[in-house]
Amino acid sequence: MNYNKEKFFNFIRYLISISLIIYLIKIPEWGVLFLEKINLHTYIFFFIIFTLLQFSMFTIRWTSLLKIYTPIENKKINFFENFKIYMKSSLLNIVLPGALGGDIYRLQKSIKNYNIRLKESSLIILLERFLGLISLLVYFYFGLLFLKVPIFANNLNLYIFIIIFLSVFSIYTLIYLFDKKHKLRFKNYFKIFLLSFVAQGFNLIAAAIILKAFLPSSKIFWPLIIFPASYLASIIPISIGGLGVRESVISLIINELGSDLNIGIIISLLVYLSRIITGIIAVSFIYIFEIIKRRIKFV
């Protein structure tokens, strides 16, 4: 019964995503992509570079946590192996319902490759998710300050206090539930948060590059509002990895900021496609490298 219920909800999520994407694709004039003024392949190239930097930071973050929790002494943790796992998990997050398919894949790899218990593997995923979310909220908050929304601009100290309070409260809740042996120290939390913040910064720069390609007159703080809001909306488990929901939010906010809705839709879909291309390229190169390395060993 539960299995049939899950299949039904997954079908609804796929239906919502496909419907939203078809609707969005039919609206804009796609001829704008072929304008001579837009050197699109250059912008996509830099998007890929910054997205790879983002996932490199994420991999370093995950590797740092794995080193703390693996019970195997002197266990060698391979960055490239973890990078491959992380890129595969990012692709799974795109194509599976909700946004947790890739996290479950990494959780299984943590247990299999490093003998980390399920409880501690779950803590790693939750900590990554939470600190990534806090990083996005910080960027989004400062974006609203630049936009000069009175309720935020006039209550700066209050909102900074609320963010800090929620962060500390949530971290200690996670410690109480999952890390009673206190393997993590404050410096570890600070390091993980800093890696999350830098990684999300690379993410916003990558998306801002596509934004600037089509809207060169856009304000520098626009990406701080548009993309954190869209990523936060994609967490809601009503679609396939946020597909359709994320793109709709990007389009609507760009329109609300005074730009053409058609351009907003094109930007949102290009950001999504560029992210898929980045994942495929990264995983492909890693597999090719491993094949070459194995062949060299046999020679």
In this prediction, residue 4 carries a pLDDT of 66
Whole-number pLDDT of residue 275: 82
Please state, in angstroms and rounded to a whole number, the distance separating the CA atoms of residues 59 and 61. Answer: 5
Q: What pLDDT digit, counting tens, does each position of 71-86 carry?
A: 766 567 778 888 888 8
Q: Residue 146 contacts by C-beta under 8 Å, 6 or more apart in sequence? A: 219, 220, 221, 224
- Which tokens belong to 33? 């992509």
- Which residue's entry shows tokens 């929620």? 166
Written as six digits, the tokens of 250 are 């990007």
The Cα–Cα gap between 178 and 11 comes to 33
Exposure on the CB side of residue 257, measured as CA atoms within 13 A: 26
261: helix, coil or strand? helix
Radius of gyration, alpha carbons of the chain: 20
Biggest distance spanned by C-alpha atoms of the chain: 69
Note the pLDDT of residue 211.
Answer: 87
Can you give the pTM of this predicted structure?
0.80
Find where tokens 């879909």 sit. Answer: 269
Buried b (16+ CB within 10 A) or exposed e, 56-68: bbbbbbbbebbee
Q: How far apart are CA 254 and CA 240, in angstroms?
A: 23
Q: Is 166 helix (H, G, I), strand (E, B) or coil?
A: helix
Number of residues written out for the chain: 299
Residue with tokens 């410690």: 175
Q: How far is CA 48 from CA 32, 42, 150, 207, in A?
A: 21, 10, 36, 10
Per-residue pLDDT of the chain (299 residues; tens, 9 = 90+): 555 666 666 667 667 767 766 766 776 666 655 655 667 788 888 989 999 999 999 999 999 888 888 876 656 777 888 888 888 888 777 666 555 667 888 888 888 888 888 888 888 888 888 888 888 888 888 887 787 766 555 666 666 667 667 766 766 676 666 666 656 676 777 888 899 999 999 999 998 998 888 888 888 888 888 888 888 777 776 666 666 777 788 888 888 777 777 777 788 888 888 888 888 888 788 778 778 877 776 65
CA distance 191 to 150: 33
One-letter amino acid identity for 125?
I
Cβ atoms < 10 Å from Cβ of 250: 26
Q: Where are the domains of the chain?
A: 2-298
Q: Give residue for tokens 């299949």.
A: 7
Count of alpha carbons within 13 Å of 279, Cβ hemisphere only?
17
Distances (CA, A) of 233 to 37, 91, 163: 32, 18, 19
| pLDDT, tens only, 195-209 | 999 999 999 999 899
